[in-house]
A and B are shown apart, each in its own frame.
Chain A
């Protein structure tokens, strides 16, 4: 955590993030292709989704498999608010985040007494129930026929300057980029706050955390709620970007995609999750030439990554570089002594 890391590394970290942001801003002109730009928009949405899961799984150590359902809650909530009530996208976005957070809180209240695999399957159960509701509440969601014609985000009118419209890929890209940047910042803030400390202490040893006076249930619930809010934001952006949503997109197995991004990134590592999310969004497309073999290769890749990169990218980087630095050696020594 940055509180304990040397100043030199903090500066390097800040510089790296700024460079990444600069590249991200210049990306539409670097790529100069609508097709690839669209992939990066999806990558941004996947980053937000994965960062949400990272709060629960990476920071707090709780395996929740209902994340795709909450993503769907955000998507349907936002789309239906805009289409049925004529609410502006800019209000529907926070509203769907709040609604997803509420549902996430309900799931948490019911399931957080459970641990480990029990929690995983219970949350998976909630994910499936949500999916079944999308599928079967046809008067609301149109079921398997998909909910189409979702309007794009409303233009922002700036008096004297003009209107900022969101009818092009580039404008959607910058909207998603902004939200992704905010999601990363907020995630970093949470991690370095007292709340983050509580999350990490629960991950390391829940009983010890409880003994130290941390109200673990309340913090676990908070992690669920925050994570669900992230999923809600991602869902809203997704609905108004693709403009058509169907229950299949929010099936339990879609949680796997986010899960893979968080685990491959390295549990709790924000940079790792961002890099892994971009990688796993682009990779299936890059492997497009493999056609029928694509998903076979994807499945095999998951196995290989788990066998050879058990601690994810962050673990690999730490092993290769962090251990070489003086701070890394000090930490190793401290761990050895303890």
Chain B
């Protein structure tokens, strides 16, 4: 039993790390633009396909495939920003939301057309390699997923807190006009935010490729959970997102003990609603939301 619980703990941490990395991109974009970007799930999907094509089809090494996924996803995000979100900068709040849903539908069906609905799997050499940690054994791929995600989370935290770019991001999030007056190029900061946030989703996609099945609609469940995480954590709060991401991963993992596995996907929303009932601004709200 103790071993089983430990296995659940580890698998919860692995899932949680993937959720967190994906949700961080959403948090960043929300923090800076106040936009709920539903197409972020499709960026994750693009990352997974990039990883698949580079690794399984073109036969490149796994790290190169991951870098390729970052590049592909970041390019998708930057393009999306330029074509869709920039023209909507001063539009009513609902417009970018609906437009992002449009982008989401567009990208899903584009992927369907280009890459067919056939589900794809790719196996890295690490999937079959079993490592033993204390008393539990697990596949090396999961260990890699967790380590890479943890490093990315730490790196992002460092970038946002310590670098000049991070400072300008926080400034733009706080008050875009004042930031512009201080000589910050808002447009550049926004593009950088989209690139970093989308790149994160791309890595997540490429990392879980060998664990999940890749198909054009794989972004939908992920984006919905990512939103639940972002809101649970308090919109725009990076710490909150990290905490909520891991809470969700662990809750889903341990949830198996209590509820039928068919209902596991509802845990995110039950947690979300529960959190909001107790703390309407999320766990780590940095500011109260304005009236819409």
Contact = CB atoms under 8 A, between A and B. Distances in A.
B102 A115 contact: no
B157 to A, nearest CB: 24
Interface residues of B, number: 53
Given A61-B292, A128-B266, A306-B99, A122 B224 contact: no
Contacts, number: 142
B284 to A, nearest CB: 14
B265 A302 contact: no
B113 A113 contact: no
B103 A303 contact: yes
Nearest to A260: B98
A298 B280 contact: no
Given A118-B276, A129-B269, A303 B231 contact: no
A310 interface: yes
B107 to A, nearest CB: 8
A302 B280 contact: no
A63 B38 CA distance: 15
23 contacts: A113-B276, A113-B277, A115-B289, A116-B289, A117-B30, A117-B289, A117-B292, A118-B235, A121-B36, A122-B231, A125-B273, A126-B269, A207-B291, A252-B224, A256-B101, A292-B113, A295-B105, A295-B108, A296-B109, A299-B106, A300-B102, A302-B98, A307-B99
Interface string A101-127: 000000000110111111011101110
Nearest to B231: A121
Contacts of A280: none
Nearest to A61: B292
Interface string A206-231: 11000000000000000000000000
Contact of B272 (A63, A122, A135, A307): A122
Interface residues of B, dominant DSSP = helix
A338 to B, nearest CB: 19
Contacts of A205: 291
Interface stretch (B62-70, B89-97, B168-176, B247-255): B89-97
Contact of A300 (B106, B263, B270, B289): B106
Interface residues of A, number: 45
Contacts of A296: 106, 109-110, 113
Contact of B91 (A135, A252, A306): A306
B18 interface: no
Given A110-B273, A121-B272, A310 B91 contact: yes
A295 B103 contact: no
Contacts of B112: 292, 295
Contacts of A253: 220
- Across the A-B interface, the 4 shortest Cβ-Cβ residue pairs: A302-B102, A299-B106, A125-B269, A299-B105
B290 interface: yes
Contacts of B263: 132, 136
A115 B292 contact: yes
B152 interface: no
Interface in A129-177: 129, 132, 135-136
A263 interface: yes
A199 B148 CA distance: 50
B105 A298 contact: yes
A118 B91 CA distance: 20
